[in-house]
Structure 1
Amino acid sequence: MPLSEQEQRLLDEMERNLYRNDADFVSTVGDRRGRPTYRSIALGSVITIVGAAALVLGVVLQQPLVGIFGFGVMLAGVLVAISPGKATTQESNDRGGFASASTGNRPKGSTTFMDRMNDRWDKRQGDH
């Protein structure tokens, strides 16, 4: 189910604030950015099917080594299918811009959604 425009804007704002406020976290976790490409998904699926066939063949022939080899090939296929693709230069530029942005660039009177949520959280924690 696709997100509405308002939900998409809120998600984008939250993402920008994450990049802006938690640059250290983003830099450590962000090394694995990128989404799997269709090519890697297709290749991984083929490898996984070949591994499953080898696993079934090992069971039918009662050869544990063939079954173990088939399981290993299946695992490799899944890893290939879910491996992220290389980030494009546009994605790198966008993320780099968010990570280097500071909160001081905003006008003093404007508060973002995340700032308001943080204030509410702080008030709630102060009550307890």
Structure 2
Amino acid sequence: MPLSEEELRLLEQMERALVEEDPKFASTLRGTSLRRSARRRAIVAGVVFVLGIAMLMGGVMSGNHKVGFAIGIAGFVVMLGSAVVAITAIRGQQAASAPVDPRTAAHPSRGFTVIDGGRAGRLRHPRRTARSSNGTFMERMEQRWRRRREQGGF
């Protein structure tokens, strides 16, 4: 249901007031600083990953086997941690720069984005009804297979 002219005008006034009162918070809602911080985290994680490789190689090349083994394991842990940070930063950057939905592009609050906690990509399955639990296991599997083929899934 579209908003009335009065409601659109009120939303525009609220948005202007928010930008005037707290521009940092407004830019956070728009996602610009989120992309910038995600990019920064990805770059730092890349540098730390290279340091982890240096630690791993230093541990392998050291003459003392016990100390070298410990340094090598520490280097691997540093590499693993920085890779996880980099991947989450890249995913966050992609989510922040997602294309705008054309249905809401004309809306005055189009610059604001809502972060859904990673649930946007998941499909919601309808609740099961009593009728879907009827039948044997193989019959239900055949029904699912037919549905997937009809929907173009395979």
Q: TM-score range by the shorter chain?
A: 0.3 to 0.5
Query: Larger relative contact order (C-alpha < 8 A, sep ≥ 6)?
Result: 1
Instruction: Point out the structure with the larger helix share.
Output: 1
Compute the TM-score of the two structures, normalised by the length of structure 2: 0.35
